[in-house]
Amino acid sequence: QVQLQESGPGLVKPSQTLSLTCTVSGGSIRSDVYYWTWIRQPAGKGLEWIGRVYTSGSTSYNPSLKSRVTISVDTSKNQFSLKLSSVTAADTATYYCAGGDYVLVNGAYFYRVDVWGQGTTVTVSS
């Protein structure tokens, strides 16, 4: 069973780049099943979809962050990563990595995010 674990600095200075890694265990990141996803949640607030990457390297990003975000896959380390540049206090949040797949239901494919990391809190402060 696939498990995910986030890692990275818990404190980032304003204007710098936030870099997080998600390690995949119990399965291969090369799997053509999963879309590897980043989601964040400011303390006490709701969830925000950041973007996702497929094993091929194909990415989709939230337009609200698109100019600052990069999600990539490192197959040699069985990891995928998030880089968010020019951070401000508004980027302070718990960041979750997740895996989503498509399942066949009544002849059509539907997406579900069924694997989650435990989350890592990142604070942007000088």
* Residue ranges that bind other proteins, judged by CB under 8 A: 46-49, 51, 60-64, 96, 98, 100, 103, 105, 108, 110-114, 116-119
3 state SS of 64: coil
Q: In degrees rounded to 5, what are phi and psi of residue 90? A: -65, -15
Least distance in angstroms from the C-beta of 50 to other proteins: 9
Nearer Cβ to other proteins (45/83): 45
> End-to-end distance of the chain based on CA atoms, in angstroms?
39
**Cα 101 from Cα 124, distance rounded (Å):** 32
Tokens of 32: 């053509």
Work out how close the CB of 78 gets to other proteins at its nearest, in angstroms, rounded to a whole number.
Answer: 20
Residue closer to other proteins (CB basis): 32 or 63 = 63
Q: How far is the CB of 94 from other proteins (least distance, A)?
A: 9
